[in-house]
Amino acid sequence: MKKIEFYKHNLNGRDRSEVCRVLRSIFLTTGPQVARLEKELAAYLGVADVVGLTSCTAALHLALLRHGIGPGDEVITTPLTFVATATAILEAGAVPVLVDVSPGSGLLSPAAVSRAITSRTKAVIPVHLYGRMVDMRAFADLAKQHRLVVIEDAAHCISGERDGIRPGVLGQAACFSFYATKGMTCGEGGAIVCHSKEEGEWYRSARHHGISKNAARRYTKKYEHYDMEMLGWKYNMDDIQAALLINQIPRLDKYRNQREVRETYYRELLQDVPGLEFMQLPAAGEKSEHHLFTLLLPPDVSRDIVVLGLQELGIGCAVNYIPIHELKFFREKFGYRPEDFPVAHQIGTRTITLPLYPKLTRAQIRRVCKTLKQVIGKLKPDQHTHG
Ligand SMILES: *Cc1c(COP(=O)(O)O)cnc(C)c1O
């Protein structure tokens, strides 16, 4: 039987012809298409400025540097995230401080974060996990009270909303990813939201070696020498990436709705599996991006055997996430034990992510659910973790 892929993108003919137009032009690197994307994304999100980068990881790194966070500083974040959230903190020279997540949602709660604040805490990086936003209003209040910077890891949530707030509106910075499996993609790419043109110019310089005049400017305007004004990185998005992304913006909300409909169908079909738990649904008035459909397998079932079983039967799936504190590098560097963050550990042990994308058909969802039930049902007693 044909494999059901974990993810399928939605690039169409129009996206491809935008790229071909760039390929036929003289200019391939950061230029007019990046500027166009930045403008349209800022309008979509309702923010002052957006700067195109090579990844969300780059965005997180630059956001920390922009706000003067470095050696000696602590940055609070979640253990239930992709490694990039924590590695960006280390790249900036600061110390990641993990705070356990809320059961049910897997989100960082402002109350839990407030208990971990010390005199060295300079910033917090909450993650809008699986597409649901954290309580940004409460985080903004907390930040004001303790003079903290809030940097949103919005890699899972570009189209969501909570309490009338969208990603990037309340945080000092918000970081987006256009990696291959994200809601809007160009293979590899990212962007940062900021709140003034002046800040935008800082990020534009920082993404390109700290050089004052980029190649497009030298090419299109009268020749001027460039100067290097600050230490920068090589994080600039190019026009090929931007061209691929531009027409995806107006489709974001439609795709969000299509994923929601598919998740609802999954929940309906899986509600009778004993011991299986869903993550909490978004509250009334809240819009999740429905980026990932993750669920918690029954506690007595080995997640890893289920993952392998599904794979063998042609169903793509993933694990989001093995918590940060259980990865070798972080275990060895910080001496973490799994039980240090028990909620993240519980979720990390039981979680599995099933395929969720607009091209996924109802028949495919039925097959995923049937196969999952079959795999769980067939486990021999010794393949259950206990009992
Ligand atoms: C994908 C992802 C990132 C990293 O994005 P890149 O664009 O690959 O750097 C960061 N945080 C989370 C939560 C992610 O899912």
The runs of H, that is alpha helices, within the chain are 13-24, 32-45, 56-66, 83-91, 110-115, 136-146, 197-206, 215-220, 239-246, 252-270, 303-312, 328-334, 342-350, 362-378
**Residue 123 in this model has a pLDDT that exceeds 80:** yes
Ligand 1 within 6 A of CB of 85: yes
Which residue in 233, 237, 200 sits closest to 50, CA to CA? 200
* pLDDT, tens digit (0-9, with 9 covering 90-100), for 192-223: 999 999 999 999 999 999 997 666 666 677 78
Choose which residue among 53, 78, 85, 90 to substitute to test ligand 1 binding: the one with the highest number of ligand atoms within 8 A of its C-beta: 85
Instruction: Grade residue 256 by pLDDT with cuts at 50, 70 and 90.
Output: very high
Ligand 1 within 6 A of CB of 155: yes
* pLDDT score for 348: 98
Sign of the alpha-carbon torsion through 189, 192, 198, 199: negative
Which DSSP state fits 292?
A: -
Residue 384, classified by CB atoms within 10 Å of its CB into exposed (0-12), middle (13-18) or buried (19+), is: middle
Ligand 1 within 6 A of CB of 84: yes
Give nearest CA residue, ligand 1 atom 5: 56
* pLDDT score for 222: 79
3-state secondary structure of 129: helix
* Mean pLDDT of all residues in 256-275: 97
Ligand 1 within 6 A of CB of 56: yes
* pLDDT, tens digit (0-9, with 9 covering 90-100), for 336-349: 999 999 999 999 99
C-alpha dist (Å) from residue 351 to 100, 276, 299 = 16, 10, 10
* pLDDT score for 387: 42
Mean pLDDT, rounded, of the chain: 95
And the tokens for 127? Answer: 């993650």
Phi-psi category of residue 183: left, alpha or beta, with phi > 0 → left and psi -120 to 50 → alpha: alpha
Q: In the chain, what is the greatest distance between 2 CA atoms, to the nearest angstrom? A: 76
* Mean pLDDT of all residues in 65-90: 98
* pLDDT score for 216: 65
The tokens 């899972």 sit on which residue?
156
Distance 175 CA to ligand 1 centre (A): 9
* Atom in ligand 1 nearest the alpha carbon of residue 54: 7
Instruction: Grade residue 382 by pLDDT with cuts at 50, 70 and 90.
Output: low
**Residue 379 in this model has a pLDDT that exceeds 90:** no
* Axis-axis angle for helices 197-206, 56-66 (nearest 10): 120
Which DSSP state fits 132?
A: P
Which residue in 89, 56, 65 sits closest to 158, CA to CA? 56
Distance 56 CA to ligand 1 centre (A): 5
* Mean pLDDT of all residues in 177-206: 96
Choose which residue among 54, 176, 177 to substitute to test ligand 1 binding: the one with the highest number of ligand atoms within 8 A of its C-beta: 177
* pLDDT, tens digit (0-9, with 9 covering 90-100), for 141-168: 999 999 999 999 999 999 999 999 999 9
* 42-46, 86-90, 261-265, 380-384: least confident range: 380-384
* pLDDT score for 36: 98
Higher pLDDT pick, 264 / 223: 264
Ligand 1 within 6 A of CB of 52: no
* Atom in ligand 1 nearest the alpha carbon of residue 189: 7
Q: What's the length of the chain?
A: 387
